[in-house]
Every structure is written in structure tokens, then in C-alpha cells.
Structure 1
Amino acid sequence: MITVNRLIHRYPHSEKNAVDDISFHIEKGEIFGFLGPSGAGKSTVQNILTGLLPLQSGNVTINGNPIQKRDRRFFEEIGVSFEVPNLYEKLTGLENLLFYATLFRKAGLPPETLMDRVELADAKHKRVKDYSKGMKQRLTFARSLINDPKILFLDEPLSGLDPATGQTVKRLIEEQREKKKTIFLTTHNMFLADELCDRVAFLHEGRIVALDTPKRLKLSNGQQIVDVEYIAGTGTEKKRFSLNDASALKALSDCVQTNKIVTMHTMEATLEQVFIQLTGRGLD
């Protein structure tokens, strides 16, 4: 569906590449997470894929077509949600969606229905300038669905949302996957990526440092831990064992065989811990 080969991009007056020779492929119906801290190059890649920045070096094909040859049909088939909402503030939320619906030839999803799905039905006649940041973010997400696109580009879709409305947007993203839509998700929210993405790429200083399923990344890079609580005398004791160390595995086996176990829990690394291990820095 989306193929990127040896993509390079440098901004004017910069001494280094914002995107530095990256390659990846996204299958149809896949949620592909593009993860990294601010300044890693995530938004630059999305802007190239959506036609907002020119292709300087490398090859990009979307649905089999070179990005340089995109035409109106390309924009009919994509939906884009930006981290910073770009809406018409003097129009109401519903008027924004009605306007954007007129830009597409094909009939998409009803604006009133979308307002309801992102829980903005009660605010549909309110001007966007009076919306909170989270409301604007939800409206921007709804706009990305207005043409019922085949491909979604989502940049930090949960930015500014509280947990409840965040769950609403996550359910809508999962619905798009069920409809076999392809989703390119850029975020520094590792918990969101772990929950939603089929595969993720870690971007650090413009380069991809790892690309795999969240599960395999955590298993191959993180340290697996087992916490054991057992009866000792009149009370209980707790011990932690590493599954990556042979001597610790033997100690765990001895503990289980010689004590009455109360609880036993495995703990795997988080995606953020794996990212720190691979890059030496966090996501802030």
C-alpha cells in the first residue's frame, strides 16, 4: 500500500538531514506506528507522504503510484489529521465538516454523524474559536474521515484529549482497521502505539533504529521479569527474578519448588523502555 525507499529530506539552511535514508513498507489494512520524540522527523515524513513537502531524494509509492505523480484521485483517497488543528475558527464545527465535504467528488460520511461519533453533537453549532483544544482535536480527526478515505495519516490523534474522549477516538481508529483502512500513525505515545499498532518503527534523529511488531520488539530487546510473593514464616516475602539470566532462572525454580507461592506475575519491558535502550534517550 505504501512503500518508502531511501527517503532523505533536508530543510534549507540545515546542516543535517531531518530524514536520513529511511525505508519501510506498509501493508493494506495495517496500523503502522511511526514513533519517536519531537524533532525525530515523524511529521516531516508524514508531510512528504501527504504531498505537503516535496520529494527531494528517494522513492515513495502509495497504492502503486509514485508520489510525484499524485493527482486529484490521490487526495480523494487519503484523510489527514494534524497534531495542531487547522480549522476555520469563525465557522461552527458542523460548518467546517460541511465545507470540507464539498472538496471531494465522492460522497463520504455524513458530517452530522461524524460530529456525533466524536462526541461533539452538542457543540456542532458552536464556533470553533470557542472549542477547547481537545474538542478541536476531535473535530480535526472527524474531518480526516469525511471522505471515507482508504488511507489515514494521523499525527498525535490523542493530543489534548482526556482519557474518556481518548478512548472514543481509539475505538474509531480500530473501526477503520476493521474496514481494512491503512493507517499511518505518528506519535510519541508508546502506550497508544502498543495498544493499536500492528507494527512500529522507532525514529531517532531522522533514522529508523528498529522496526517490528510491538510484541517482538519488547521480547527481543527488553528484560523479562517475574515478581514472586511467597509465604515466609508468619508473613510473606517478595522477590524479583530476571528471565534473561540463567542463574536467576535457577533461583526462581528453587523458590517455586521450596515455597508456597501466593502470587506470581511476569513483567515485560514497555516500548518506551525499549526505545531508551536502543537510542539512549527518552521521548520528552
Structure 2
Amino acid sequence: MTRSGGDAIVVSDIRKSYGDLKAVDGVSFTVAEGEFFGILGPNGAGKTTTLEIIEGLREADSGGVTLLGENPWPRNVGLLPRIGVQLQGSAFFEKLTAREQLETFSSLYGVSTKIVDEMLEIVGLTDKANTREDKLSGGQRQRLSIACALAHDPDVVFLDEPTAALDPQARRNLWDVLRAIQERGKTIVYTTHYLDEAEILCDRVAIMDHGRILAMDTPAALVRGLDAPTRIMLERGSMSLEQIRGFIGVDDVSEDDSSLTVITRKPAPVLSALAEHGNLDGLQVRTATLEDVFLDLTGREYRA
């Protein structure tokens, strides 16, 4: 994490309703300069509306936002050169190459087009500089969208589900781009449905549902706070259930068609006992993750 001190964003009890729907219902948090801050939640949780209020794209019904020391609403044109926004659905100028797209965005902000080559390199599109936007793959278009949001070298970057619909390789490549952005001292605020991604990239996360923040901390602290058991998976038939139940630290053990699953809150003595019986081959250990925290807070029901 690269922090230069101070808060880049201060959100104080913001609220936004549409009729009876409370899209944002008393949300408050701060984001430090240089921090990578994630806003997580199921569909309809209020993530995008919260971002739009912070960005100055939407007016809150009540509450306040300070962005880089200024109020983003009414639309604050003085902030525009200092923020970069990548929306869920990005639109590009028709029939322009990747380089031309970036040159156009740079010129709109009065920035020298000399930065274009640097942006193309950061997002890994140097070899696609002369390729038309509509000929790029989905992952390449996402990276170009982020490059356009960075073309004027903003201090704060907002990314709304930047890795949505990307294949695993493109998503991992984009992680490197996001890390490179933060290493340049930028503050990043983003939303995602990929909990593994948030756990790896974010300094802190806020988990939202029904317009409210349910929990906020570092991913590691949230996982520790869940106090979930460890699951140890063995190949079925490697030991009997009775043997495993006799080990110190075993809370429960179950069996399915392919494996044995040991539940424990004291994995060390259980693993030691398994090692003594020569049963470490093929063993898998699963501890709690940010996804477990998310599901514990928001539930498991399907959200359209």
C-alpha cells in the first residue's frame, strides 16, 4: 500500500432513495490517499450509486462527500482533471485505434499526447496501439478503458467492476495493471463481485447490502473476525471416520463419494496426527476467505 497521508475521500452519512427504495441508506467511510479501497456487495446493494455520488455524477438526498478536499456536487469541474472514472459500460469513439482513443482523451483534458505511449505500456497494449478499438478482445478493451481513465494522470481512480466478464488470464493480467496504478501513488476505489480479487488487491473493503455498510476492515481482519473452522480434505478410504474422530482437535468429520472432510479449529494437532499416519498425500486445507465473510453477512439467496 502506498499512502501519502491524509484522506482522499470522506463520505458522511449519505442517503439516496428512489421512491420507497433506499439505494444508499446512511453510508459513511473514508479512503486514505494512496489506498486501494473496495466496495463489495450483491446486486442492488448500492455500490454503484455510492460511487456515482462520490464522483459527482449523482446528487445525494442528504449527507456529504469530500473528494480531494472539495465537494463533488454540484458538478465540480475543478475536480475533473484530478479524478479518473471507468464505468461498468465503457463507450469509445468509433473507428479509432487504441492510440487514437488515448490521444483524444488526452486532448480533451489539455494533456500532452506524449503520455499515450506510457499509458499503453502500463496497460500492456503497446503492441495493439494501431488496432481499432472494435477489433480488441474484451480484456484488451477493459484495459484500454482504464488507460483512458488514467490519460490525464488523475489522483483518484474509480473503477466499477473493471474485471467483469473477463477470462481468468485477462483478469489476472488486469490485476498487474491495478497494482501498477497504485504503485504510482494513486488512490483506487473500486467495486467487484470477485471476492478472491478483492482479498488480494484491496487494503480495506466495505461490504454493503440494502444500501448499508455491514462491515469494513482489511480483508485479513474480516476473515479473522469470522472465526470460521478449518476444513481438511483427504482422499476417501485413506482412513476410517472412527480413526479421525479420535484425533485431538477434530470437531467433526464427514464423508462423500470422493473425499473425507475434517472440521477443526485446531488444525496443527490434526495435521500432525495425519502426518504420523502417513496421510498427507493429496491433502487439501481450506481456511476461511473473504467470500465466507461476504456470504455470512449477505446471505446465500440468489440475487437477480
Q: TM-score, normalised by structure 2?
A: 0.79
* Percentage identity across paired residues of the two chains: 34
Per the TM alignment, residue 24 of structure 1 is displaced from its structure 2 partner at its CA by: 0.7
Aligned residues: CA RMSD: 3.3
Q: Distance in 1 between matches of 2:265 and 2:82?
A: 52
The aligned length equals 279
Partner of 1:208: 213
On the 8 A contact 1:224/1:243 being kept in 2, the answer is no
Amino acid at match of 2:295: I
On the 8 A contact 2:248/2:270 being kept in 1, the answer is no
Partner of 1:37: 42
Task: Structure 2: give runs of 5+ residues left out of the alignment.
Answer: 1-7, 253-262
2:287 pairs with 1:268? yes
2:106 pairs with 1:95? no
On the 8 A contact 1:198/1:213 being kept in 2, the answer is yes
Residue among 194, 198, 203 paired with 1:198: 203
Partner of 2:81: 76
On the 8 A contact 2:56/2:74 being kept in 1, the answer is no
Q: Distance in 1 between matches of 2:216 and 2:250?
A: 22
Instruction: Decide whether aligned partners of structure 1 residues 243 and 170 sit closer, same or farther in structure 2, where only a CA change above 3 A counts.
Output: farther
Instruction: Decide whether aligned partners of structure 1 residues 7 and 237 sit closer, same or farther in structure 2, where only a CA change above 3 A counts.
Output: same
Q: Distance in 2 between matches of 1:33 and 1:242?
A: 39
Instruction: Decide whether aligned partners of structure 1 residues 156 and 244 sit closer, same or farther in structure 2, where only a CA change above 3 A counts.
Output: farther
Superposed CA deviations along residues 110-160 of structure 1, whole A, max 9, x for unmatched, are 223322433333433333233333332121011111111110101111123
2:16 pairs with 1:9? yes
What is the SS of the residue equivalent to 1:201? strand
Per the TM alignment, residue 218 of structure 1 is displaced from its structure 2 partner at its CA by: 0.9
Q: Distance in 2 between matches of 1:155 and 1:265?
A: 34
Instruction: Decide whether aligned partners of structure 1 residues 58 and 242 sit closer, same or farther in structure 2, where only a CA change above 3 A counts.
Output: farther
Per the TM alignment, residue 252 of structure 1 is displaced from its structure 2 partner at its CA by: 7.1
Amino acid at match of 1:143: C
Superposed CA deviations along residues 215-242 of structure 1, whole A, max 9, x for unmatched, are 1111111513152869x9xx65685999
Q: How does 1:65-214 map to 2 (within 5 A)?
A: 65-68=70-73, 71-107=76-112, 110-214=115-219
Amino acid at match of 1:219: R
On the 8 A contact 1:201/1:208 being kept in 2, the answer is yes
Instruction: Decide whether aligned partners of structure 1 residues 200 and 243 sit closer, same or farther in structure 2, where only a CA change above 3 A counts.
Output: farther
Instruction: Decide whether aligned partners of structure 1 residues 120 and 175 sit closer, same or farther in structure 2, where only a CA change above 3 A counts.
Output: closer
What is the SS of the residue equivalent to 2:66? strand
On the 8 A contact 1:31/1:177 being kept in 2, the answer is yes
2:246 pairs with 1:227? no
On the 8 A contact 1:158/1:169 being kept in 2, the answer is yes
Amino acid at match of 1:72: V
Instruction: Decide whether aligned partners of structure 1 residues 272 and 94 sit closer, same or farther in structure 2, where only a CA change above 3 A counts.
Output: same
Task: Structure 1: give runs of 5+ residues left out of the alignment.
Answer: none
On the 8 A contact 1:32/1:198 being kept in 2, the answer is yes
What is the SS of the residue equivalent to 2:78? helix
Per the TM alignment, residue 89 of structure 1 is displaced from its structure 2 partner at its CA by: 2.5
Superposed CA deviations along residues 169-189 of structure 1, whole A, max 9, x for unmatched, are 211211222222111011111
Q: Distance in 1 between matches of 2:109 and 2:264?
A: 61
Q: Distance in 2 between matches of 1:199 and 1:167?
A: 20
On the 8 A contact 2:248/2:269 being kept in 1, the answer is no
Amino acid at match of 1:66: N
On the 8 A contact 2:105/2:148 being kept in 1, the answer is yes
Per the TM alignment, residue 245 of structure 1 is displaced from its structure 2 partner at its CA by: 6.3
Per the TM alignment, residue 106 of structure 1 is displaced from its structure 2 partner at its CA by: 4.7
Tell me which moved more, 110-119 or 212-221.
Answer: 110-119
Q: Distance in 2 between matches of 1:275 and 1:242?
A: 30
On the 8 A contact 2:35/2:203 being kept in 1, the answer is yes
